[in-house]
Structure 1
Amino acid sequence: MLIGAAVVLFIASFLGISGCDLPGNACDAFDSPFSWEVSPLGWGSFLLGIAGAALVVVSRALPQQQQRKVAGLELGQLGVAFTVAAAWTLLMWVFESSSAGAGLILGLIASLALAGAAIAGPLVPALQAPLLSAPRPQTPQPYGMQAGQAGPAGQFGQQGAPGGYGYPGAQQQPYGAQPDPSLGGGQQPFGGQGPAQGQAPAQAQPQGQAAPAHGQAPAADFAPFWFAVPVARPLYGEDGSPAPIAELAPGTWYLAVEQRGQALVAQTQDGRRGVLQDTTGIQRG
């Protein structure tokens, strides 16, 4: 609807802006100017509305982390302001004109539809999704390990070995799901350990000392990873406050920097950190 209204507004800019109420055949010789022959109307109304539509479309085409700001405003917000200003100035031209032509009337209708579509965009969930998907982040590597270098079996971030994280042939498992044995080991569930891990240290401990529970990795074994949420989920402060500090949106990659039980400490693109309590169904990058 937004693009269609902008096209109609562009067509209306080449139609006559003045009508003719003269008696007889006098109107046959009347040549009505169009908007581009009247600079304040063409450049201040029609072009302003078309530019606003272009800014809104570009804003919706970019992922959230690639949004740009002009004078503190996002491109979409600036585009909405342009479309509203164009509709207002065209309304004033129609009121001030003694005989409005087809260009003014059609331009006013198109500018009102354009402003309405631009304003309703952030309010309609179906129109909030970006037209381009977010770029896939680079897989974080363990400290001191190069990309493609084989590391210890089951180590997070291993590249080049079948079954390791990031291996192209391995199917990604949902967060908390069990790996498929047919994939040659596959990706281990988040917080779990591969076979034979955590058992050898337990045998070397004295008999009077309890061994760590099998399947529980110590906090030192956690490595940051990228993830995306399937639906919008709140991010709460690390101080335990009940009010969310941000909202994680689907289609955007976030960095998990710490694990707290079943929850994750996530970092947003603007540097804010908080606790994601609901980690079901997240997709690891």
Structure 2
Amino acid sequence: MCFQTRIGGWRRASGSGSRIAMLPKTIASFFLFSAASLAGVLSARCAATGIIIVGDIQYQPIAAAAADVESTLKVPLNVFSTAQVKGKLRALVRRENAGLVVALGREALEETLQLPPSISVVFGLVIAPPKTSRPNTTGVYLATPVREYVNIAKKYLPAINKIAILGSPDMINILDSNAELQGVAYRVSSCSEIVDTINRMHASDALLLLPDTALLTAGVMDQLFLFSFRKRIPLLGVSEGSVKNGALLALVFDSASVGRQIGEKVLEAQGGAAPPSAPRKFNLYINANTAMKMGIIIPEEMIKTAKNIYR
């Protein structure tokens, strides 16, 4: 199987019989034996790992993460698209003799969570860890923990002392182990609740938005930007796009390192229970124009650490 499926340009066994036929019989036999031995070693090595990847590698972030996982593990892995495994993953796992499945992306994770609990699942490229009691399930999620924003405010922005946190109950529980650390957490479950909440929000120095595509629709974001500039309360979080549109800053996972971290999580999972982790590295995006309009001083040291600054 390893010869047939490889990340980033599939490797296939290529025939060389016509050239070998021109060699002396003893040399030809040697080459044929060596090629067969090499194929057997690679196949055995791939099977021995007991690991497969599920993810749609036609999408560049998933392809890059899959390649990083393989590089970290230093072993060839078979990759299957979500369409290939839909309703067939259990049989595929048996056929591949896999004891661990790496699920890259939300759809891949949904499929792998249906596997027997004896099969380990390591997820990646999902916003938050799945809400499941399934054992042997771990991975790396993409959302930025609240503490990262608290730390950057303490280090660079002394004017921001009280941060209001806005998000779903599940997301607040996942991303903020101490929701009252520097402000108050507003737990919302619908778009209408968000609008109602910001209209009665108490004084805060900044509003941190926790990622949730079901809640932070385009219409809700428009309302949040209007609130931010009218009240002169800067928005923090979500994405580089939100910073470009007017949020003060955002900390976004570093895509170049998250694939390696998923690979390391696979190694952890092979050694036993391993809790899900947030990314280790984040990129800082700043909107200097928003800072100027709100009278917020961005120190030069902070500017130097930013990946991109919108002016």
Q: Structure 2 length as normaliser, TM-score? A: 0.27
Structure with more helix by fraction: 2
Q: Bigger relative contact order, structure 1 or 2, given CA contacts below 8 A and separation 6+?
A: 2
Structure with more strand by fraction: 2
